[in-house]
Amino acid sequence: MKIKKCYSSVSIFILFIASYLSIGWADNWDQIKKSAVEVNTVKADFIQEKHMKILTKPLISRGVFYYKVPKSLRWEYISPVKSILMMQNGKTKRFIKKNEGYIEDNSANLQAMKFVLQEITMWLSGRFDENPDFTATLESGHKILLLPKEKSLSMMIQKIELTLSDRPGIIKSVKIYESENSFTKLVFKKVILNDKIEDSLFRKI
Amino acid sequence: MKSVTFLFILIFGTISCTGLPKLDPVNSSIIPEIHKRCSALFLNGRWEFIHSIEATMPNNKKSFIIGITVISPEIKRVESVIMTIEGLVLFDACYEQKVVINRGIPPFDSVDFARHLMDDIKLMFFKPDGQIIEAGMLSSGEYVCRHKSNDGHFVDIVTNNVCAWEIRRYTPSAALRKTIKASHCKTLPGSNGIRIPGRIELDDRGANGYSLTLELIGAKPLAKN
């Protein structure tokens, strides 16, 4: 009985310490920025769910995500459409895999994606509260809510919800709402921090 | 002057009329079978399609998007969403007698764009308006059903079998304006064993011509609304 009581006290203590540690880094903007400073590279698998009223079930895409400070991104989809979206030194390119190899996308919608990519690099550097386009609020449950400042932007993106991982410096998931009925959920898995990533990965296919 | 005008009309008329390919007559006993084949290309009931789309514009620039389409042929209703591969919705509209744009990010926000897109979807998935005015065979051996719509356009449905078909749309002056080719049929899980074209290629030959290649990602029949 005594052992059981002791075990239960230890459990509560461990739980308390664990929750303190995990909340700690996501408790305020300074802590978040401090944790982000220690992140130089990120590699993660991702699963993307597109939820829309028109779809009977979410459209699932999978891929790999790479980030390197200060602003290099590679967003590579493996299914259902093989494609690579890259950003380095402010230049954004998208390539799609076709039978004849990768073909560059010249579409105007790349501008909209450039904006999204720039947002992501800002999140990864922990600078949520310095965002000129969104007002950031820290919420319970390791969540950050981003609301557009301008009406013109809110026509495109209604809100963004980021859930931070228990591991400092890591974003667990992102939900981008275009409307109440339409949102994209990205869940990051197998996250590797500060592994060596070659610069060429952000320039070449 | 009158004779020059007459000559011009005659020449122009002759050139225009050469646009519609001549159909070889077939035995009248197989005409119902040709009609059946043409009709079989079009799905009945409500369907959801997901395609990856490669768009080639007049300046030869390529654009890649994902298209989600829900068709209800019986009530001539189309719902269409276009989004980037990353999931950003660029266009969301519905057609049922008129086009309603729910969301449009430039350059996908114009009514003209929406109308053209809906016309393309209707041409791909709905039986043509108007009566069949002729059925026969091309010199290449393919069966053809020729429709004439109320606005004077001609639509030829060219079929060898259910999975290699072509739709050709001609202007009232018989100039070929648009072609749609279907191929690479697939039976997808959830599609009730129905074979769906894995690839659809649309070629618009108008002044601002463009082409679209649709690769099928998913298709499923839906319950009626």
The pLDDT confidence band at residue A108, using thresholds 50, 70 and 90, is: low
The DSSP H or E segment spanning A185 is: strand A182-193
Question: B207 CB near a chain A CB, below 8 Å?
Answer: no
Query: Where do runs of H (alpha helix) occur along B80-137?
Result: 111-125
> What is the amino acid identity at position B168?
R
The pLDDT confidence band at residue A25, using thresholds 50, 70 and 90, is: low
Q: Which residue has the tokens 């070629």?
A: B203
Q: Which two tokens stand for residue A187?
A: 């869940």
Query: Where do runs of H (alpha helix) occur along chain A?
Result: 2-24, 29-37, 109-124, 151-154
The DSSP H or E segment spanning B39 is: helix B31-40
Handedness of CA A166, A169, A170, A174 (dihedral sign): positive
Handedness of CA A186, A113, B81, B218 (dihedral sign): negative
Q: Which two tokens stand for residue B148?
A: 């004439």
CB contact under 8 A, A83 and B48: no
A-proximal residues of B, 103-142, CB under 8 Å: 103, 105-108
Of A56, A61, A107, the CB nearest to B63: A107
CB contact under 8 A, B81 and A52: yes
CB contact under 8 A, B61 and A107: yes
Residues of A in Cβ contact (< 8 Å) with B106: 108
Predicted pLDDT at B14:
40
Whether the ipTM is more than 0.85: the answer is no
The predicted-structure confidence for A133-177, as pLDDT tens digits, reads as follows 999 999 988 899 999 999 888 988 999 999 999 888 889 999 999
* Strand-pair partners of B185: B197
Q: Which of A105-109, B41-45, B121-125 has the highest mean pLDDT?
A: B121-125
CATH of the domain at A101: 2.50.20.10
Domain encompassing residue A109: 2-202
How many structural domains are present in chain A? 1
Residues of B in Cβ contact (< 8 Å) with A77: 85-86
Q: List, in order of start, the domains of chain B with CATH numbers.
A: 30-222 (2.50.20.10)
CB contact under 8 A, B88 and A116: yes
